Amino acid sequence: MQVWPGQTYPLGATYDGAGTNFAVFSEVADRIELCLLHDDGSETAVELRESDAFVRHAYIPGVMPGQRYGFRVHGPYDPARGHRCNSAKLLLDPYARAMSGSIDWHEAVYGYRFDRPDARNDLDSAPHTMTSVVINPFFDWADDRPPRIDYHRTVLYEAHVKGLTMLHPGLPEEIRGTYAALAHPEVIEHLVELGVTALELMPVHQFVTDNRLVDTGLTNYWGYNTIGFFAPHNAYASMGDRGQQVLEFKTAVRALHAAGIEVILDVVYNHTAEGNHLGPTLSLRGLDNASYYRLGPDPRYYTDTTGTGNSLLMRSPHTLQMIMDSLRYWVTEMHVDGFRFDLASTLARQFHEVDRLSSFFDLVQQDPVVSQVKLIAEPWDLGEGGYQVGNFPPLWTEWNGAYRDTVRDLWRGEPARLAEFGSRLTGSSDLYQDDGRRPLASINFVTCHDGFTLRDLVSYNEKHNEANGEGNRDGENYNRSSNCGVEGATEDEGILALRGRQLRNFIATLMLSQGVPMISHGDEFGRTQGGNNNAYCQDSEVTWVPWPKGAESGSGGTADIEALRMLEFTRSMVWLRRDHPVFRRRRFFHGRPVEGTHDDLSDIAWFTPEGEEMTQRDWQAAHARSLVVFLNGQAISEPGPRGEKITDASFLLMFNAHQAAMEFVVPINHGTEWQVVVDTAIPDGVLPGSGRKVRAGDRLRLMDRSLVVLMRPA
């Protein structure tokens, strides 16, 4: 076998049409072997003799796509000093573009002996672990272009590759649950008709199911257990895992882009699947443990701000390089349009505290590729001071947990929430305005993958996670939910009607709020997880989206009819938002008249149900759960894309979160005639065609826990 010196960059395995360059970093290693694996179980070892700046490298002619490989690192095994090298462990390439196989959790994949945890384990892990794969990077992107949807026109849809597509009746069975399913016209048509502009995929970086779940017959369904930051998860490929997963993923992105839909990845750069000091040796731990992980005062143990056993070392230049290389790779080579960063506060921990000016954010800010895509933070982790909603740098948007909590509280009837609800409805200026950000920094959501589904939010007071095998101890205990009178399933028509109203209230509130709305997959159908609010390990019909039957034939049952009705309402609210820029302003309201408007009215005004302007006392009243909001479509101050003045219809939003019906007075001096366009008290929610007309001073009776929207044409 010929072995040429090769290059230090790029790291990983790079095929050029004639052979493959291999490069891997380790400062602690004495020597590193590249192991080329054969289908009969044998391997060919090639020592990487060339080394520059602790990067070992070689070019091997004739190594083609589909070749499986791994590394064996010879170096110190001294946990007391933070070193865990062990040449008996076949290590995954941190930069591998694809990975093959799975881990069977034999004792051999661990660096220590089960009977003597302080002793090195010299069992060969190769027969029991995953392998890295050389891929063909060439792909015909044709005329693919990123949609580049502005934030003010963005509607996010959080989805799981398998969960979204596994039960879709219109898909061939052989592609359900795969990347190929995302590219299927049936799935794309649903997203387009719903009004989605960005598909936010739960983790598709290669992840593993840890041994604890395997032993209990469960799986890591969500995927927040990454082992490969460059590799698409192999189980989501329909054609095999020798690089086909890369082809399928790219094909899906190309198809979604052609439909005008962006692809955003939920990424987990805060920890890896190697766990704590008792975890397996799969990749980074065996390559250079101390360079990649945050070690504790006693280097045998890990600093854990993620609740997963370890945290990546964000002050290490090699960790930062790996993360930035990964982000650029997914943008430039896989054509994704942005990232949602799981437990993003951990990325800001250079030392102990969360620092918004940490090296990671500096690198992102100056990067000409990564800084130009959508960057969304989950602004918390489990460490001290980890809750950082509103504190990320101006380039970033954030999952607004305060929005979620406030909207849930309002509709379940919590006292003294009206003032904060007003702030959340109008873009959370208290969180984002002081550092120059705008309402679009707020990613608004009521539900997401973590917690109750929308249906369960109005059907359960308590979590029901028994199926997870942890005695119902896992998952959030404080859900801000209301079962509307009965825990779980019921045939009580009154309770079912109330639950239907609350579902429509949540969707309507989300779409009427300033900021960027995010829908959790299946909520448009009102799907349930049976009260499980931590379904991370449930790869079954518990978590898969139940697509309703009878959409065309009319053969569906009552549940399907209700699901389709909910879908139609959600579509209508999304398109109401898209059609009216007053609901998606790029600047905050300022509460005063705007020059040049013919009505000389403020851009926003607040009223009591009696039609009187809200006072400080009204805002602070503990019993107040209702209000009216006037949005002036003539007072949108920002210019259009060509510099033109934007005008829109004006709206009155009437919220009644009381447990009793109330009469609302249509305010005077803010428009003579209005038309009802939304009423969540009726089963369809949105009136077909033209709703009834009302005039200033008229009284409208709003059912308990309902919402009405009135429109005055421009």
Q: Which amino acid is at 587?
A: R
| 584 vs 578: CA distance, rounded Å | 8
Residue partners of 163: CB distance under 8 A and separation at least 6: 221, 521, 522, 543, 544, 545
Q: Which amino acid is at 241?
A: D
Residue partners of 645: CB distance under 8 A and separation at least 6: 596, 639
Are the CB atoms for 28 and 288 separated by under 8 Å? yes
Helices of type H across 151-210? 161-165, 179-182, 185-194
Residue partners of 326: CB distance under 8 A and separation at least 6: 229, 230, 267, 269
C-alpha count within 13 angstroms, C-beta hemisphere, residue 140: 1
Pairing of strands 516-520, 156-159: parallel
Q: How far is CA 234 from CA 70, 102, 145, 170, 245, in A?
A: 17, 9, 26, 24, 6
Q: Residue by residue, what is the 3-state secondary structure of 587-654?
A: CCCCCCECCCCCCCCECEEEECCCCCECCHHHHHCCCCCEEEEEECHHHCCCECCCCCECCCCEEEEE
Are the CB atoms for 692 and 625 separated by under 8 Å? no
Instruction: Give residue for tokens 């790291």.
Output: 11
Instruction: Give residue for tokens 């196989």.
Output: 101
Q: How far is CA 45 from CA 74, 90, 132, 196, in A?
A: 13, 11, 15, 49
| 565 vs 562: CA distance, rounded Å | 5
SS3 52: strand
Catalytically annotated residues: 342, 378
| 260 vs 191: CA distance, rounded Å | 10
For 110, other C-beta atoms within 10 Å of its C-beta total 21
Residue partners of 308: CB distance under 8 A and separation at least 6: 224, 225, 271, 275
DSSP letter string over 516-566? EEEEETTTTTT---TT-S--TT--STTTS--PPS-TTTS---HHHHHHHHH
| 98 vs 131: CA distance, rounded Å | 9
DSSP letter string over 564-579? HHHHHHHHHHHHHHHH
- What letter would DSSP give residue 218? -
Are the CB atoms for 349 and 384 separated by under 8 Å? no
Instruction: Give residue for tokens 């994949």.
Output: 109
Peptide bond before residue 117 is cis, with ω within 30 degrees of 0: no
- CA proximity to 127, closest of 98, 96, 106, 113: 106
